[in-house]
Chains A and B, each alone.
Chain A
Amino acid sequence: MILWWLGDAILLLVVLPVVVFLLSGVLRAAKKIPPTVDGISSVAGAGSRDLNAVQLLLTTQDQVIKTVAGVADYGGSLDVILDDA
């Protein structure tokens, strides 16, 4: 009988507070995650929108190729009409 009461006391005074403490800690940690995830999501969305201009790199690539080709043509002409040092 005494041991049973002792067990009840341990359940109520030790096990239950420990369970509540541990679960509350897990819940607090879990509640901190969604705002962080929302922040990451907004940043990732902004990063994705920023990359919309990446397609223009193809135009830049074409322009650079054409420009360098033009420079090469001018350089070739200068190479022909000018004397070497």
Chain B
Amino acid sequence: MALFGFAAAGAVTILAVVLIVLALVVYLVAIIVQLRRITTGLGEVLRSVSEIAEKSAPVNGVVKTINQQLDRGVDLLEGLLVKKAGMEDAVGLVDGLYPGSGSAGFRKFPGSGGTKAPRIGEVYTRGTLTLARLGREAPIAAGSPAGPALRDPAYGSAASAKLYPEPRQQRPSSLPSSPVVGTDSPVQYPPVISWRSGGEPEPEAEAEAPEAAPTPAESTPAPAADPDAPKTISWKRG
């Protein structure tokens, strides 16, 4: 009886150990499979991340260069604007074109945001503003700088035009009237044909030439007589 008891207890022990080992094997194999999947997935992630690092490596330098170039451009334009228009007018111009941005000032000129800008946008039209910033040829500068500024926004262009001198007589008092042309015009002009340099009339012009035109002897000048004559001449065809 005691021997049977020992044998039974031993068998149960062996069974328990086998069960434990079996559970360890099953779960550990499943975990190993999962870890292999994780390793494979991480390999793909590492490859993609390596590509990202490789592709983004020059970005820093390139973007830095672009920003430096753009900063140079902004500094250049701001400096030119302030130099040519003055700080107050420059801030006023910027504020007139982009309301509210004048308070930000210019980046190259610290403290320029506190400049009290004139309300340029309400005084001048945009075109007048452009002309005003162009210096000597501007209507404002054409007048006395100490004189009153243009204050007529409705007719700003006409007012500025009056300030321009008129060195050339561009508007004479009277000009001869333009000739009247057409089939029913009071003065009928002979038809004109074009000649090539080789002396042959162009087909279109030849077809349109009337029959009652004068003879070639009456035409002046002859095509070959003057070597300096233009290649395309007009004459009356007989």
Q: Do A and B bind each other?
A: yes
Q: How large is the interface on B (under 10, 10 to 19, 20 to 34, 35 or more residues)?
A: 35 or more
Query: Do B51 and A64 touch (CB < 8 A)?
Result: no
Q: Find residues 30-65 in chain B having any chain A CB closer than 8 Å to their own CB.
A: 30-31, 34-35, 37-38, 41-42, 44-45, 48-49, 51-52, 55-56, 58-59, 62-63, 65
Query: Do A68 and B73 touch (CB < 8 A)?
Result: yes
Scoring A11, A31, A78, A85 by chain B CB atoms within 10 A of each residue's CB, the highest score goes to A85
Query: Do B70 and A68 touch (CB < 8 A)?
Result: yes
Taken together as a complex, chains A and B put the C-alpha atoms of A75 and B80 apart, in Å, by: 7
Query: Do B23 and A33 touch (CB < 8 A)?
Result: no
Query: Do A23 and B48 touch (CB < 8 A)?
Result: no
Partner of A75, one of B9, B77, B86: B77
* CB-defined contacts of B20 to chain A, threshold 8 Å: 11, 15-16, 19
Query: Do B23 and A16 touch (CB < 8 A)?
Result: yes
Scoring B10, B19, B45, B59 by chain A CB atoms within 10 A of each residue's CB, the highest score goes to B45
Query: Do B48 and A68 touch (CB < 8 A)?
Result: no
A54 to chain B, nearest CB (A): 5
* CB-defined contacts of A57 to chain B, threshold 8 Å: 58-59, 62-63, 66
* B69 at interface, CB cutoff 8 A: yes
Partner of B76, one of A16, A27, A34, A72: A72
Contact with B along A45-85 (1 / 0, CB 8 A): 10110011010011011001101100110010011011111
Q: Which chain A residue lies CB-closest to B30?
A: A27
- Whether A60 contacts B12 in the complex (CB less than 8 A), given A1-B2, A33-B38, A41-B45, comes out as no
* CB-defined contacts of A71 to chain B, threshold 8 Å: 73, 76-77
Taken together as a complex, chains A and B put the C-alpha atoms of A26 and B69 apart, in Å, by: 56
Query: Do B69 and A34 touch (CB < 8 A)?
Result: no
Query: Do B41 and A34 touch (CB < 8 A)?
Result: yes
* B85 at interface, CB cutoff 8 A: yes
Query: Do B84 and A11 touch (CB < 8 A)?
Result: no
* CB-defined contacts of A61 to chain B, threshold 8 Å: 62, 65-66, 69
Query: Do B55 and A48 touch (CB < 8 A)?
Result: yes
Q: Which residues of B contact A (CB under 8 A)?
A: 2, 5-6, 9-10, 12-13, 15-17, 19-20, 23-24, 27-28, 30-31, 34-35, 37-38, 41-42, 44-45, 48-49, 51-52, 55-56, 58-59, 62-63, 65-66, 69-70, 72-73, 76-77, 80, 82-86, 89, 134-136
Provide a sorted-by-A list of 11 A–B residue pairs whose CB atoms are within 8 angstroms.
A4-B6, A8-B9, A19-B20, A19-B23, A26-B27, A38-B41, A45-B48, A48-B55, A57-B62, A72-B73, A83-B84
Closest 4 pairs (CB-CB, A-B)? A37-B41, A44-B48, A23-B27, A85-B86
